[in-house]
Amino acid sequence: MIEQGHQITATCFDVGFKNTSHFSRAFKQCFGSSPHQYKARHANTIAH
């Protein structure tokens, strides 16, 4: 969802997390970067 341009906070709650900090920790464990870093890295691919 983040890669598709959705807001990070909205994605957090949409996928069932109730705490943004917990979401960020879990996201970093799975993807190797924070949601913000991931979104920034994929921003160019979203625009094209």
Q: What is the pLDDT of residues 5-16, one digit of tens each?
A: 899 999 999 999
pLDDT in tens, 7-42: 999 999 999 999 999 999 999 999 999 999 999 988
pLDDT at 47 over 60: no
Per DSSP, helices labelled H in the chain are 8-14, 20-31, 35-47
Is this structure's pTM higher than 0.95? no
The whole-angstrom separation of Cα 6 and Cα 10 is 7
Provide the pLDDT for residue 48.
47
The whole-angstrom separation of Cα 39 and Cα 24 is 12
